[in-house]
Amino acid sequence: MSPEQYQKVLDDLARSLGAKFGALGADRTPDQLRMDVVSMRDELSGSFNILQTATPPPQVRPAHDRLLTALTQLSEIVNEVVAAAGNAELCGGSSALSRITTSPAADAVRTAIKGLSTADPTHPYPVAAFLPTGTPEANRQLGNGAVIKKSTKGPNTLKVEDNGDTDAVLTLAPAGSTSTALMVYVRAGQTATTNGVKDGSYDMYVASGHDWDGGAKAFTRNCAYEKFTDPADFSSTKSTYTILTITLHAASGGNASATPTDPGSFPT
């Protein structure tokens, strides 16, 4: 290959992989993450095959081979992320990117790219930085009882006890509605009390996990999504009002049964 032809191969690789990393970072749900990380795995495989069949200028052959080795290692990490996304260990793009970009394989790719730029002093071969900067996994939390969204006003009270080891977000939506009336954050092992709930019957949903992404309104690791079997009913009179207590993750005798549900069905 001429230097120009080889540079085009490198440019195409950086452009295609950069697009996949950009898509991954925007993922907000486990389904999106699974789809995009599989697509990244396939793109890595295709890019590796193209690079492997390329014949680089002799001066950069050793650096070329090191890039191939590093991409193989990166593919192994991406395969691990595919599995982690499949079992909801990883649920959001930010945690998946952290897992990939802080790995030794990612460092090996960065080193190989730097090597290509200096292997031939008379003709550097730059490769655009398609790998985002490595950022350690976050563990973002809201304060216990933080109200994420509230569009209800009334005399009733909701108490949520989280007896589990993961934080949770409980959501109320008017029965049959896709619009959230109340979304409240409950830290593991704590109880949150929210006043001002309007009379009515509400569907109840709960999301739990680690690392709350406020922009996505979702947990990025160890996530679970459930809908409660029974609605939450609130009623009041001039002299009385409802105080409803919901217990999550009760070891036994809990008062709120729930079944797994698609995160895409959660009210917004």
Residue ranges, CATH 2.60.40, the chain = 147-265
Q: Which fold has domain 147-265?
A: Immunoglobulin-like (2.60.40)
| DSSP E strand boundaries for 72-165 | 147-150, 156-162
In what helix (H) or strand (E) does residue 52 lie, and over which residues does it extend? Answer: helix 30-53
Residue 8: CB atoms within 10 Å = 13
Q: What is the pLDDT of residue 256?
A: 61
Residue ranges, CATH 1.20.120, the chain = 3-118
- CB-based contacts of 35, cutoff 8 Å, min separation 6: none
**Domain covering 3-118: architecture:** Up-down Bundle (1.20)
pLDDT band for position 153 (cuts 50, 70, 90): very high
User: Is residue 264 exposed (0-12), middle (13-18) or buried (19+ Cβ within 10 Å)?
Assistant: exposed
Q: What is the pLDDT of residue 250?
A: 62
Find the mean pLDDT for residues 246-259.
71
**47 contacts 53 by C-beta, under 8 angstroms:** no
pLDDT band for position 254 (cuts 50, 70, 90): low
pLDDT band for position 203 (cuts 50, 70, 90): very high
Q: What is the pLDDT of residue 264?
A: 80
**124 contacts 150 by C-beta, under 8 angstroms:** no
